[in-house]
Amino acid sequence: MIDTLAIAHALVDAGLEQRPAEAIARAIRNGQGDTASKDFVRAEIGKLRADMTQQNNTLLRWIMGLGLGAIAGVLAQLVFQILQQ
């Protein structure tokens, strides 16, 4: 975290008046917070994407399994009909 008090003191020591120095220090602190927030949001979006990918893969496995089961059922029925003739 940024020490805004130290920044403000350094600006005053460099010849800037107190109020502008404090305003600059606050702006720097707020800008740092925005960057941290953006990084947090990006990380959360990355987690959501990973979760969605995992759910999509699970869903595709179920669909493939059901499809193969249906095909096996139709083939078994055809074989059964052929054997009865």
Count CA within 13 A, CB hemisphere, residue 33: 8
Q: What is the pTM of this model?
A: 0.49
Token pair 């107190």 in the structure block, residue: 18
pLDDT confidence bin for 1, thresholds 50/70/90: low
Token pair 């990973």 in the structure block, residue: 50
Domain that holds residue 53: 4-84
pLDDT tens across 17-65, in order? 888 888 888 888 877 766 667 787 788 899 999 999 999 999 999 999 9
Alpha-carbon span 12 to 45, nearest angstrom: 41
pLDDT confidence bin for 79, thresholds 50/70/90: very high
In the chain, how many domains are there? 1
